[in-house]
């Protein structure tokens, strides 16, 4: 695949879709700024990308750390003007035991990472790309951002916010020559999806998902959605009266095993 990019920022690069996208992008002549929190996994993916010929810098940080992330991105952009930024970092969560409410701290954590982290990734580059009248922004949302999942209210809401923000950016930035791609994947095999206990119809590997995402971005598509058959089902369900639409979503009932971050914070 021929790619027009020379300088890329990618968050959430240490595993899952982010790792697969990094590998799909990596090639000689490309400078990559990869952001993630796990030092060992970040070193592994950075070396794998270097083996493919890319120059790689690691930003070892949490996307919630706005000053640190902005500093890394702005410094990288000063030395190698970014022509593609992919805001991919995200986490998932669901209802509590026996379908009890989400923990309030968990809901806000998703908001801070999935939506706030996306803002922290994109904002440092907006004025710079606008001034250069060049660049592309890719935001990773989810099919849950198109039709909310009943067992994952906060996750669905944050992904819907990412999608809405991307649509707004697209209309604003198009006259400046800046492309915006909103990515809405379905179920993708990853450490995050492994915590999802329930139906995962039409699940695909992270490598296949990355191929669809990178090819869609390279083609300058405004939206990349897959699988289409699942999207079609959700769209049709959305045309039904609410009671029937909610019934249609019942097969998607699931539970999400917590990733333990809140428990670790409590112990600290």
Q: What is the pLDDT of residue 111?
A: 97
**Catalytic: which of 155, 187, 226, 252?**
155
Find the farthest-apart pair of alpha carbons in the chain and give their distance in angstroms, rounded: 55
Active-site residue flag, 115: no
Q: What is the pLDDT of residue 98?
A: 80
Q: What is the pLDDT of residue 1?
A: 66
Q: What is the pLDDT of residue 57?
A: 98
The superfamily in CATH containing domain 7-267 is NAD(P)-binding Rossmann-like Domain (3.40.50.720)
The rounded average pLDDT for each run of 10 residues, N- to C-terminus, in the chain (268 residues) is 90 96 97 97 98 98 98 98 97 85 93 98 98 98 90 94 98 97 91 70 89 96 91 77 79 74 57
- Provide the token pair at 124: 């440092």
The H-or-E segment that residue 183 falls in is strand 178-185
Q: What is the pLDDT of residue 170?
A: 97
Residues 76 and 9 sit within 8 Å (Cβ to Cβ): yes
Q: What is the pLDDT of residue 268?
A: 47
141-164 burial, b at 16+ Cβ within 10 Å, e below that, comes to bbbbbbbbbebbbbbbbbbbbbbe
Global pTM? 0.91
């Amino acid at each position: 695949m021929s790619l027009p990019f020379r300088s890329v920022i990618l968050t959430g690069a240490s595993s899952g879709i982010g790792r697969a996208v990094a590998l799909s992008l990596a090639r000689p002549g490309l400078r990559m700024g990869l952001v993630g929190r796990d030092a060992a996994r970040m070193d592994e993916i950075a070396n794998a990308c270097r083996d493919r010929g890319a120059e790689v810098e690691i930003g070892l940080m949490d996307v919630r750390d706005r000053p640190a992330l902005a500093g890394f991105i702005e410094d990288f952009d000063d030395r190698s003007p970014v022509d593609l930024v992919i805001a991919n970092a995200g986490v998932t969560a669901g209802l509590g035991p026996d379908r009890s409410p989400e923990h309030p701290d968990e809901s806000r954590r998703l908001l801070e990472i999935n939506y706030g982290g996306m803002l922290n990734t994109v904002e440092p580059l907006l004025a710079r790309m606008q001034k250069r009248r060049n660049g592309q922004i890719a935001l990773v949302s989810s099919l849950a951002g198109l039709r909310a999942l009943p067992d994952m209210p906060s996750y669905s809401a944050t992904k819907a916010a990412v999608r809405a923000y991307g649509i707004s950016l697209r209309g604003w930035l198009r006259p400046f020559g800046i492309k915006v791609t909103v990515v809405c994947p379905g179920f993708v095999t990853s450490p995050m999806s492994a915590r999802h206990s329930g139906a995962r119809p039409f699940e695909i590997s992270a490598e296949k998902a990355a191929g669809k995402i990178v090819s869609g971005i390279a083609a300058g598509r405004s939206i990349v959605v897959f699988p289409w058959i699942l999207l079609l089902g959700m769209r049709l369900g959305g045309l039904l009266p609410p009671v029937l639409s909610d019934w249609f979503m019942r097969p998607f009932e699931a539970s999400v095993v917590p990733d333990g971050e809140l428990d670790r914070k409590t112990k600290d």
